[in-house]
């Protein structure tokens, strides 16, 4: 039993580790609290049972195509602002390092209850693991004229404050907190690194396959307006709060069905709000404005895009479209013809789908993380996960590294992506590196410098390679320089002709193909 600021919680002993699940860090975000910043939970008397995961945030289910690869357990209930703690030694005397985990899922899906995120291996190795649920989709990232922006990110900040106040009683040291996340969780980590209100709440960070970024406010508004049109209500928080939760989720799923990382489109995201997110997080970090001045561990998988294209058969469809798909990728990435030509020269054996996927991956993930490492030499550690899944077509896809980081490859939910028989030695290598980083800020390889060291994990023996993607990054730098020096391109008077309209039609064609595949 451990006492928190709001009451005592009673956990369980499992394989020598103390586990506390479903601890509320804020009040249920419904009723008067819906679409509002989180507020503290009501205190309770006696010992609250913490043996089971708490409610998950409302979210639509994955499509059948994606559910084949990704686990997404649902726990019903209103109290979705909860967290879990795995610790080897409860009590204030331990003062162990802490790792706080933010799950991915495009800010619309996911939870801390996914079995892949089981924290027992971190606790076994002397690190207190905290995993967090937070609001998702329109509940957490809808943009309304009558409510504050980014309530889901504010949930995460509230959870960090809970950790700062409470983790000592669970054996953790509030002065040694690492904030970590993957995909949308990593995007959240990037925003919190740059958030002035998060200063002092964590001391180093891990960004896996997600860069610091701010979404275009109009893109988020378009999602809300699409939902409002389907619901036949005004695009306000007051009107949305009056809609049944399940009806709201169906409208959200329908409004977002044409959007994806490859194809773009309206989506939910963290936006600049002048408060918690005062400016674009990547720009703030590159210019040295950050809450965390210590170490960063960040990286990507070699074939991120394959999780976005393989389910539903979109990979083959993109290959068949050929030049049309490349034109759509150029529109998505806002790059000139020389960039895909350069990729063809660097990878002459690659098909169209691979070129398109790597273009978009570099644009969305690798280039922003590369910029961040360049801005923080000596304290940034970069990796590339390169082990190909045993499941056909996935390669080293997005999210595949998670079972290795948590060393949970034996659970069925990990095997959904990896297949059975993933290499134990790779899990031991990666998990140990993340533990070392949480303990002392050094995962065990060379920090970023002018030689651009990248740790390659899963392609033979772990090794450090210098500048493995510099050729691609140089293409983007040259393209940016050419665009900066080029004279403005005149826009046709009718507004319908020209390359812009043509590329928009290409992207629409690709999206229709994605819908048929899903």
- What is the spatial distance between Cα 347 and Cα 367, in angstroms, rounded to a whole number? 18
- Could you tell me which of 332, 446, 82, 370 has the C-alpha nearest to residue 207? 370
HEC string of 54-66 equals CCCCCCCCCCHHH
Choice among 111, 112, 131, 183 that is catalytic: 183
Choice among 304, 354, 401, 413 that is catalytic: 304
- What is the spatial distance between Cα 122 and Cα 347, in angstroms, rounded to a whole number? 39
- Could you tell me which of 458, 454, 475, 457 has the C-alpha nearest to residue 355? 475
Q: In this structure, how many other beta carbons lie within 10 angstroms of the beta carbon of residue 145? A: 11
Has 493 been annotated as catalytic?
no
HEC string of 280-341 equals CHHHHHHCCCCCCCCCEEEEEECCCCHHHHCHHHHHHHHHHHCHHHHHHHHHHHCCCCHHHH
- What is the spatial distance between Cα 164 and Cα 173, in angstroms, rounded to a whole number? 9
Concatenating the DSSP letter of every residue in 500-515 gives: HHHHHHHHHHHHHHHH
End-to-end CA distance of the chain: 47
Has 425 been annotated as catalytic?
no
Choice among 103, 203, 370, 398 that is catalytic: 398
Enter the tokens of residue 83: 């967290």
Has 183 been annotated as catalytic?
yes
Angle at 71 between CA 423 and CA 166, to 5 degrees: 90
Angle at 251 between CA 247 and CA 256, to 5 degrees: 150
- Note whether 138 and 224 are within 8 A (CB): yes
Active site residues: 183, 304, 398
């Amino acid at each position: 039993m451990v006492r928190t600021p709001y009451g005592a919680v009673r956990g369980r002993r499992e394989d020598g580790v103390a586990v506390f699940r479903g601890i509320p860090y804020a009040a249920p975000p419904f009723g008067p609290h819906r679409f509002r910043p989180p507020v503290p939970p009501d205190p309770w008397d006696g010992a609250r049972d913490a043996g089971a995961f708490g409610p998950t945030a409302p979210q639509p289910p994955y499509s059948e195509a994606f559910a084949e690869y990704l686990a997404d357990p649902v726990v019903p209930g209103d109290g979705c602002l909860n967290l879990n703690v795995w610790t080897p030694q409860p009590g204030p005397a331990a003062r162990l390092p802490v790792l706080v985990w933010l799950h991915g899922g495009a800010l619309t899906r996911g939870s801390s209850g996914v079995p892949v995120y089981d924290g027992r291996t971190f606790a076994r190795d002397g690190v207190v693991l905290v995993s967090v649920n937070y609001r998702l989709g329109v509940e957490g990232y809808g943009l309304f004229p009558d409510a504050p922006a980014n309530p889901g990110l504010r949930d995460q900040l509230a959870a960090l404050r809970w950790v700062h106040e409470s983790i000592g009683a669970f054996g953790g040291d509030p002065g040694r907190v690492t904030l970590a996340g993957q995909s949308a969780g990593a995007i959240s980590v990037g925003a919190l690194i740059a958030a002035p209100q998060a200063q002092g709440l964590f001391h180093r960070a891990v960004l896996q396959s997600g860069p610091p970024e701010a979404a275009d406010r109009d893109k988020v508004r378009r999602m809300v307006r699409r939902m409002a049109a389907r619901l036949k209500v005004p695009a306000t928080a007051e009107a949305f709060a009056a809609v049944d939760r399940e009806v709201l989720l169906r409208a959200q799923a329908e409004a977002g069905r044409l959007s994806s990382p490859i194809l773009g489109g309206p989506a939910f995201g963290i936006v600049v709000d002048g408060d918690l997110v005062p400016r674009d997080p990547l720009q703030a970090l590159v210019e040295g404005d950050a809450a965390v001045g210590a170490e960063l561990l960040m990286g990507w998988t070699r074939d991120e895009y394959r999780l976005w294209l393989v389910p539903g058969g979109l990979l083959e469809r993109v290959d068949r479209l050929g030049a049309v798909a490349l034109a759509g990728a150029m529109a998505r990435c806002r790059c000139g013809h020389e960039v895909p030509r350069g990729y063809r020269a660097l990878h002459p054996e690659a098909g169209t789908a691979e070129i398109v996927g790597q273009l978009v991956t570099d644009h969305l993930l690798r280039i922003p993380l590369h910029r961040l490492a360049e801005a923080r030499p000596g304290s940034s550690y970069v990796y590339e996960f390169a082990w190909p899944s045993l499941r056909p077509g996935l390669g080293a896809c997005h999210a595949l590294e998670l079972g290795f980081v948590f060393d949970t490859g034996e659970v069925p939910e990990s095997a959904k992506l990896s297949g059975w028989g993933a290499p134990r030695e790779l899990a031991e290598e990666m998990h140990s590196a993340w533990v070392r980083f949480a303990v002392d800020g050094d995962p065990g390889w060379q920090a970023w410098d002018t030689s651009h060291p990248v740790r390659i994990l899963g392609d033979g023996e772990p090794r450090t390679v210098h500048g493995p993607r510099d050729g691609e990054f140089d293409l983007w730098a040259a393209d940016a320089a050419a665009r900066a020096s080029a004279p403005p391109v005149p826009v046709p008077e009718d507004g319908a002709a020209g390359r812009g309209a043509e590329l928009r039609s290409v992207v629409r064609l690709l999206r229709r193909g994605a819908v048929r595949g899903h």
